[in-house]
A and B are shown apart, each in its own frame.
Chain A
Amino acid sequence: MLTFIIRRILSAIPTILVVISLVFFAVRGLGGDPAIAILGDRATPQALEAIRERLGLNEPLWKQYTSFLWRLAHGDLGRDLRTDIPVAKLFARAVPYTIDLAIWATVIGILIGVPTGVLAALKWNSPLDFIGRFVGILGFSFPTFYLSILLLFIFGLILGWFPMMGGGGDYSDLGNRAYHLFLPALSLGLIKAAFVMRLTRSSMLNVLHEDYVRTARSKGLKERVVIYKHALRNSLLPVVTMIGLYLAVTIGGSIEVEIVFNRPGIGKFLIGAIQERNYSVIQSGLVVLAVFIVLVNLITDLSYAFIDPRIKYD
């Protein structure tokens, strides 16, 4: 197992390096000038030039690139071009909120998506299945942005049950944190649930037609055992794979949710940074995200063993 983990981490390094390089050159290809973004539209070219010089933006691209890699290799994520605050310090506050959001959205997605998917598969072609499929398509095609505003409107404004904004102040205050997290996680989770439901349903349908399920039934096992022990367990493998892969999409969706709920988080950081051409924040933010996604994929791979004992890592 350990060899597998080390091998996976080592093999992720070139992937991360490619991501870093793509991001580094892509943000510079966006057009726009960070100096104007920093000094505003009334700055003279002299002031703009001075700030470019100070930030090293006048250096040749290769030099900027190598010094960025060198700093990164030493664990230095750079400083925010606008506020001069170390990016690591900014992210240290933002990342836990995004992880909270991604994890709880996934939990909600699984808790709603798996049972409804199983139910829809078991009641295949029944009105229940039809409703499930319809809701699934609806959820899948509904923009996170609007679902967030709708939930905010209903549960925040009209019913007044949940706060309209923020992340809950002190991170160590668990109750307040959960209170602020519920609606944002539900916004992302409901959309994820639609995805998980559709996937579980189709995977379950495939498995239910397998020979071993027929055998299980014919040897007189209770339907509950057939479904939960034989069918569901086997049908979950692709679901788990996709949930892992879908996490990247969840984080993409978290950008919108963080903006609508005014939550702290890495998505909100990135959007702001792109608008400001805040190169150091964009680069470091995407590196952190890339590492995060690689880790999630690793965890996904490792979780296969728990679902299917036939899988061995060594």
Chain B
Amino acid sequence: MKWRFSFLAGLLVAALVFTSGVALSAELAKEQVWRWAHHTTDLDSFDPAFGVVDGAYSVGSYMFNGLVRLPPGTLDFDNLEGDLAESWEVSEDGLTYTFHLRKGVQWHKGYGEFTAEDVKYTFDRLRDAKLSSPYGAKYGIIKEVKVVDPYTAKIILTAPSTFFLLDQVLAYQAGNIVCKKRGDEVGNKNLGLEVIGTGPFQFHEYFAKEKVILVRNEKYFRGKPTLKRLEIYFMPNVASRTLAFIKGDLDAIYGKRDPKWVEDVKKTPTVIVDAVPLGSGCAVHFNMTRKPLDNIKVRKALALTADRKIFEQYFRGIYYKMIAPVPPSYYATLPEDATPEELLYNYDLEKAKKLLAEAGFGGGFKLKAFSTTKPYYLAPLEICKEQWKKLGVNLEITVVDHTSFHANIRKDMNDVVIYYAGRPPVADSYLTQWYYSKSIVGKPKAITNFSHYGDVDADGDGKVDSIDSLIEAARSELNSQKQRDLYYKAQLQLLMHVPSKPLHELTKVLVRHNYFDPGVEIKGSMIFGYPLEKAKILKH
């Protein structure tokens, strides 16, 4: 792997000799075609209820709108703006959301005007078990969607949820509104790739495993975009993606989550790297049903030796320190200054050895883990392995392909799991998916609770430990400070019980030439791509 990388790095450096700075002008380039390459091999579906591949929901976001959205280029969760809804209000009990919709918004390709019927259709469809949307479970919170009039929709919840707008309604993944007329034509199933949206760009052509082409929506309600056509390529091979980008055949690409790659690519004078959140949080999860990981002292010892500084040195410019179970760029993450020193689990080998001896495992033990071939998964596990060797702990890593890895960890086959994930940017999504008792792997509503927290006695006092009640209480708490306090309490409890050790959040790596102007400052991005409704290609 190293020599492969050196080879690529050598080519990149050599490329600089042959590529010079490009003089920029404020004038628009004659051809407003945006060429972008994704890191994924293909798409699955542009249907917001089904698109789970990074490339699919990211490209899909150019074709759809939600009811509300984040200000483009930001992750400003406190300042959501209207998208298809011009305004909205929440009832005092937090159960009813009333959305006042924009008038005159047209669906692509003559599918008529967007109305409240489309809102009802979108959310009813997601809740329909027969549809089997991978996002369906979180829409169970909706009791009913009412069409008050064509431009007013009411959503009634089963219980108050302060994250409803951010987690379920936001213009992101399943929160994007689909066209009822188109849905009726296709039937109650995956809408596939030829979707009808209201967004700034519309579907034009798809070539499997190669590219997808979108063209601008001349009737976009915020005004016709400057870019006329988007050519989006699927290029999983990082070397060819990088070379094509440096030559200028691509205006922007999704980069590699590798600090060395980022440093190399930055040497080209026209290149701008936007290493921004929302990133993927990473923690090492301990399977507490396995001996000796059922012993809190053992887990604490492992947590104390997984040194965050080594990860920081390894990931450099794409690294954010993550000290809490909720990643640092997510809403209601536990701040470092509110965390007691001993719960940070900063590197302390002596203390770790002592804890292990007290637990009766001073001589060490063996652990097993499956890892994927993806370098940013494998590297942290190997770093842990090296660190834990100092305790006499031998971590046996079996490398399998990414699909097998996901299948194996869900069969509870690992002692420890390293997992990266970007999720809706709220504490609730992370805590629910990793630490809620119903999310434990093997259960009917399992998601990614690999530690079995919520079903086991984590601290050895003879009682099962859980943060379920805190998660549920926080979800329905309407006072934001009280809600934050509940999330902080849950995170502190997790840190005390060590079902996992939070390690870091890795940024997204969006890379562009300076002649591609996204039209807004890029401070964060929910998708693997740039906001494009105001974007332009400058003369170069």
In the bound complex, residues from chain A placing their C-beta under 8 Å from that of B400 are 31
Which of the residues B129, B190, B237 comes within 8 Å of A260, measured between beta carbons?
A: B237
CB distance from A87 to the nearest CB of B (A): 10
* Complex interface bits, B25-57 against A, C-beta within 8 A gives 1, otherwise 0: 000000000000100011111000010110000
Which of chain B's residues has its CB closest to A31's CB? B404
Which of chain A's residues has its CB closest to B15's CB? A157
Known: A31-B407, A275-B401. Is A85-B208 also a contact (CB below 8 A)?
yes
Q: Are B134 and A50 in contact (CB under 8 A)?
A: no
In the bound complex, residues from chain A placing their C-beta under 8 Å from that of B137 are 44, 46-47
| A136 at the binding interface (Cβ < 8 Å) | no
Q: Are B41 and A271 in contact (CB under 8 A)?
A: yes
Alpha-carbon separation in the docked complex, A31 to B133 (Å): 24
In the bound complex, residues from chain B placing their C-beta under 8 Å from that of A149 are 7-8, 11, 239-240, 243
| A173 at the binding interface (Cβ < 8 Å) | no
| A277 at the binding interface (Cβ < 8 Å) | yes
Which of the segments A34-42, A102-110, A208-216 contacts the partner chain? Answer: A34-42
- The tally of residues in A whose CB lies under 8 Å from a CB in B reads 53
* Complex interface bits, B57-76 against A, C-beta within 8 A gives 1, otherwise 0: 00000000000000000000
Which of chain B's residues has its CB closest to A261's CB? B240
| A217 at the binding interface (Cβ < 8 Å) | no
A-B contacts counted at CB < 8 A amount to: 168
| A194 at the binding interface (Cβ < 8 Å) | no
Alpha-carbon separation in the docked complex, A43 to B134 (Å): 4
Which of the residues A84, A93, A165 comes within 8 Å of B233, measured between beta carbons?
A: A165
Q: Are B444 and A45 in contact (CB under 8 A)?
A: yes
| B109 at the binding interface (Cβ < 8 Å) | no
Which of chain B's residues has its CB closest to A270's CB? B209
Which of chain B's residues has its CB closest to A52's CB? B132
In the bound complex, residues from chain A placing their C-beta under 8 Å from that of B14 are 153
Which of the residues A50, A93, A164 comes within 8 Å of B244, measured between beta carbons?
A: A164
Known: A31-B408, A262-B233, A275-B403. Is A164-B209 also a contact (CB below 8 A)?
no
Alpha-carbon separation in the docked complex, A63 to B439 (Å): 33
CB distance from B209 to the nearest CB of A (A): 5
In the bound complex, residues from chain B placing their C-beta under 8 Å from that of A269 are 208-209
Alpha-carbon separation in the docked complex, A47 to B193 (Å): 20
Q: Are B407 and A33 in contact (CB under 8 A)?
A: yes
* Complex interface bits, B375-418 against A, C-beta within 8 A gives 1, otherwise 0: 00000000000000000000000001111101110100000000
In the bound complex, residues from chain A placing their C-beta under 8 Å from that of B406 are 32-33, 36-37, 41
Which of the residues B37, B129, B247, B423 comes within 8 Å of A157, measured between beta carbons?
A: B247
In the bound complex, residues from chain A placing their C-beta under 8 Å from that of B244 are 156, 164-165, 262
CB distance from A119 to the nearest CB of B (A): 32
Q: Are B132 and A47 in contact (CB under 8 A)?
A: yes
| A82 at the binding interface (Cβ < 8 Å) | yes
Q: Are B209 and A272 in contact (CB under 8 A)?
A: yes
| A178 at the binding interface (Cβ < 8 Å) | no
CB distance from A283 to the nearest CB of B (A): 16
| A83 at the binding interface (Cβ < 8 Å) | yes
Known: A158-B18, A165-B249, A264-B207. Is A40-B52 also a contact (CB below 8 A)?
yes
| A192 at the binding interface (Cβ < 8 Å) | no
| A51 at the binding interface (Cβ < 8 Å) | yes
Known: A32-B406, A275-B403. Is A54-B132 also a contact (CB below 8 A)?
yes
| B447 at the binding interface (Cβ < 8 Å) | yes
Q: Are B421 and A41 in contact (CB under 8 A)?
A: yes
Q: Are A163 and B11 in contact (CB under 8 A)?
A: no
Which of chain A's residues has its CB closest to B52's CB? A40
Which of chain B's residues has its CB closest to A34's CB? B403
In the bound complex, residues from chain B placing their C-beta under 8 Å from that of A152 are 240, 243
Which of chain A's residues has its CB closest to B370's CB? A31
Which of chain B's residues has its CB closest to A146's CB? B7
Residue from A90, A94, A157, A259 whose CB has the most chain B CB atoms within 10 Å: A157
| A276 at the binding interface (Cβ < 8 Å) | yes
Alpha-carbon separation in the docked complex, A219 to B327 (Å): 88
Q: Are A83 and B45 in contact (CB under 8 A)?
A: yes
Can you give 13 contacting A-B residue pairs, CB < 8 Å? A36-B407, A39-B52, A45-B444, A46-B132, A47-B136, A51-B132, A82-B44, A153-B15, A160-B247, A166-B211, A259-B236, A262-B244, A271-B41
7 smallest CB-CB distances across A and B, nearest first, come from A40-B52, A32-B403, A50-B132, A43-B134, A164-B244, A272-B41, A39-B134
Instruction: Taking A36-B410, A44-B137, A46-B137 as given, write out 11 further A-B residue pairs in contact, using a Cβ cutoff of 8 Å, ordered by the A residue number.
Output: A31-B407, A32-B406, A37-B403, A42-B135, A42-B421, A50-B132, A94-B208, A165-B249, A268-B41, A272-B41, A275-B403
Which residues of B are at the interface with A, using a C-beta cutoff of 8 A?
Answer: 7-8, 11, 14-15, 18, 37, 41-45, 50, 52-53, 129-130, 132-137, 190, 192-193, 207-211, 233-237, 239-240, 243-244, 246-247, 249, 400-404, 406-408, 410, 421, 423, 433, 443-448
